[in-house]
Structure 1
Amino acid sequence: MPIYELYSWGKHNQEIGHFASIVKIALVDNTISEGEQKLLDRAARKLNIKDEEYQKILKNPENFPVNPPVGYDESIERLYFLTKMIFADGNVDKDEVALMRKITTALSFPLDNVEKVCDEAIHLVMNDNDLEDFTAAIKKVNAV
């Protein structure tokens, strides 16, 4: 298998893991709201998730591990979309926030800073910040 195929296969597995994380947050309350469905559809398109993969992930997202991205900016982008999913149904559930903290740890954010990063992420999405502002603010909060 050529190197570029290995890279694209690995990248796609990361995208599948990320999508599964978004689905896990959507399913915390065992239902997917209209807002969550729209965000899932948009995320699936952006992450190149095929229909068959989409259905498998929806059926059992626990079968797909989080594969952290290599780059820091990619980790922040994933955090952004995870946080947006928490707000997609209009309710912020404490179980969603707890799961978000676990996923944030899996995205390679420092364990001693995860709570602060998640709190800032929630604040930023609540105030409708775009990805660019979100990224700058998270980098500031996560600076050691």
Structure 2
Amino acid sequence: MSISDLYTSGQHQQEIGQFASIVSIAIADNKLTDGEERLLIRTAKRLNISDEEFKQILKNPKAYPVNPPISYVESIERLFQLTTMIFADDEVSKDEVVLMRKIAIALGFPLVNVEKVCDEAIHLVMNDNDLDDFIEAIKEVNDTKRQ
């Protein structure tokens, strides 16, 4: 096995973990709406998730660990994707928010900041901020809370 095969495999495992987190958010309220399903299909394609992997992850997303990204910006991008999934059905449930906070901790956000970061993430997505604005705002909220 070559180094590139190991990297690809590791990267794909990270993508699977990321997708499983998004699926967990989608089914936190025990239903999968059409909007959530469309977003999952788009996300799966972007993350190179095969149809078979898609089906397996949908059956049991908890079987796949969250593999935190290496960079801080990648963590914020994943938080953006998770927050977008929360709004895919035009509702935000308490279970989704609780799960989002847990995943945010797994993504490397400090426990002391996670509530503020997630609340800001929800506010930003609810107000249709784009990814660039989202990244800058989350950096500001997270960095402010560290001081």
Q: Which range, TM-score by smaller chain? A: over 0.9
- Alpha-carbon distance in structure 2 between the residues aligned to 1:42 and 1:133: 22
Offset of residue 29 of structure 1:
1.5
1:43-122 matches, within 5 Å, as 43-122=43-122
Distance of 1:18 and 1:77 partners within structure 2 = 11
Aligned partner of 2:97: which letter?
Answer: V
Cα distance in 2 for partners of 1:4, 1:76 equals: 26
Give the C-alpha shift of residue 83 in structure 1: 0.3
Give the gaps of 5 or more residues in structure 2.
none
Taking the aligned partners of 2:71 and 2:11, their CA distance within structure 1 comes to 12
**1:133 paired to 2:133:** yes
The TM-score with structure 2 as length reference comes to: 0.96
Deviations 1:96-144 (A, max 9, x none): 0000000000000111000010000000000001111100111111113
Aligned-CA RMSD value: 0.7
Could you say which residue in structure 2 is the equivalent of 1:23?
A: 23
1:4 — aligned with what?
4
Instruction: Determine the C-alpha separation between the residues in 2 that align with 1:130 and 1:38.
Output: 19
Tell me the secondary structure at the aligned position of residue 67 of structure 1. coil
SS in 2 for 1:76: helix
CA distance in 1, matches of 2:2, 2:142: 37
Structure 1 runs of 4+ aligned residues shifted over 2 Å read: none
- In the alignment, the residues of structure 2 paired with residue 38 and residue 73 of structure 1 have an alpha-carbon distance, to the nearest angstrom, of 25
- The alignment's TM-score, normalised by the length of structure 1, stands at 0.98
SS at match of 2:89: coil
Distance, in Å, in 2 between the alignment partners of 1:64 and 1:18 is 9
Distance (whole Å) between structure 1 residues aligned to residue 48 and residue 133 of structure 2: 25
Distance 1:128 1:25 in 2: 19
Shift of 1:4: 1.3
Measured after TM superposition, the shift of residue 8 of structure 1 is: 1.0
Following the alignment from structure 1 to structure 2, what is the Cα–Cα distance between the partners of residues 47 and 6?
17
Write the letter of the residue equivalent to 2:11.
K
> What secondary structure, in the 3-state scheme, does the structure 2 residue paired with 1:88 have?
helix
Count of residue pairs the alignment pairs up:
144
CA distance in 2, matches of 1:32, 1:20: 14
Structure 1's unaligned 5+ residue stretches are none
